[in-house]
């Protein structure tokens, strides 16, 4: 039941109909007995600023932000947190009663939680990692690994100059895709943060056989759950981590930012999300 006192939050992006965040957050709200509702907002690309500005003061408590608005979201916030600043993007905005906007980036927390959950014993501080791609997702991952004490982050991208733009800010080394085998030498993890494999993009051809056999291979994409990239890693007997674990891992601290408490631990949101993914 939605009452006059219902606390609103939501996710903003374009497109947004595919988003699984409403499923996760509403399941948690119901289980926690919070009078809240979490809704999707599809906003035209040139209307994002006006949309966010209109929420100052807190008619909506907070927003998750997804493609293509994460960089703009950070720019609009007057109280950006350190994680968001390092990642150059925000996936969480919180609207304060005094009109201020807080920005956070919980994608990196989601990435590390996914690794901890699906690759038990993985220690981000124990060796170099390679990240494929140089968009917002890749930069966020690089920031998260750096903050977690990773000694060397290697950014591997088709367009090497974009990889260089990230390492210029965060440190580490930039590689072209043609040198991926060199970048994979001795790594403890490889993370795919490219859009390759998504509709309209070509397959990603990365020489995973050049990774150590102990390397953990992760994909940020969760549709399908077992991407061709992860399937190849499994064929090579590498441990794998899927994008759904990361999605849930970023949603948990997002919920906490909106409602001031962690979501109830006894809701199997992964099973819920899998059911939703299968049903489409």
Give min distance, CB of 221 to ligand ATR, in A.
Answer: 10
Least distance between ligand ATR and beta carbon 137 (Å): 3
Closest residue to ligand ATR, judged by C-beta, is 135
| Dist. CA 254–CA 149, nearest whole Å | 23
Residues that bind ligand ATR (CB under 6 A): 67, 133-138, 157-159, 162, 177, 193-196, 201-202, 204
Nearer to ligand ATR, 115 or 131 (CB): 131
The least CB distance from residue 15 to ligand ATR, in Å, is 13
Distance from C-alpha of 269 to C-alpha of 225, rounded to nearest angstrom = 15
Which residue number, 35 or 168, has a Cβ lying nearer to ligand ATR? 168
> What number of other Cβ atoms are within 10 A of residue 160's Cβ?
17
Query: Is 223 among the residues known to form the active site?
Result: no
Q: Burial letters for 245-278: b for 16+ Cβ neighbours within 10 Å, e otherwise?
A: bbbbbbbbbbbebbbeeebbeeeebeebbeeebe
Q: What's the CA gap between 61 and 55, in Å, rounded?
A: 8
Alpha helices in 33-183 (DSSP H): 48-53, 70-76, 82-87, 107-118, 136-147, 160-170, 180-183
Q: Which is nearer to ligand ATR, 124 or 137 (CB)?
A: 137
Beta carbon nearer to ligand ATR, 29 or 112:
112
Task: Cite the active site residues.
Answer: 70
């Amino acid at each position: 039941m939605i009452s006059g006192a219902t606390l609103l939050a939501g996710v903003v992006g374009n497109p947004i109909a595919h988003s699984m965040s409403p499923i996760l957050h509403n399941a948690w709200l119901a289980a926690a007995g919070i009078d809240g509702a979490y809704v999707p907002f599809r906003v035209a690309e040139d209307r994002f600023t006006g949309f966010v500005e209109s929420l100052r003061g807190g008619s909506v408590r907070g927003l998750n932000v997804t493609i293509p608005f994460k960089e703009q979201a950070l720019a609009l916030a007057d109280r950006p947190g350190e994680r968001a600043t390092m990642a150059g993007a925000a996936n969480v905005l919180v609207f304060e009663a005094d009109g201020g906007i807080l920005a956070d980036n919980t994608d990196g927390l989601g990435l590390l939680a996914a690794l901890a959950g699906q690759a038990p014993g993985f220690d981000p501080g124990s060796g170099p990692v390679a990240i494929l791609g140089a968009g917002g997702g890749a930069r966020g991952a690089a920031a998260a690994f750096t903050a977690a004490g990773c000694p060397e982050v290697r950014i591997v991208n088709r367009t090497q100059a974009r990889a260089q733009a990230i390492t210029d800010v965060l440190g580490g080394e930039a590689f072209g895709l043609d040198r991926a085998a060199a970048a994979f030498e001795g790594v403890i993890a490889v993370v795919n943060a490219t859009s390759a494999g998504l509709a309209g993009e070509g397959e990603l051809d990365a020489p995973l056989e050049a990774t150590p056999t102990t390397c953990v291979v992760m994909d940020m994409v969760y549709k399908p759950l077992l991407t061709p990239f992860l399937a190849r890693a499994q064929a090579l007997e590498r441990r794998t981590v899927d994008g759904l674990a990361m999605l849930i891992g970023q949603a948990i601290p997002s919920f906490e930012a909106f409602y001031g408490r962690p979501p109830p631990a006894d809701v199997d949101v992964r099973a819920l999300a899998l059911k939703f993914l299968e049903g489409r």
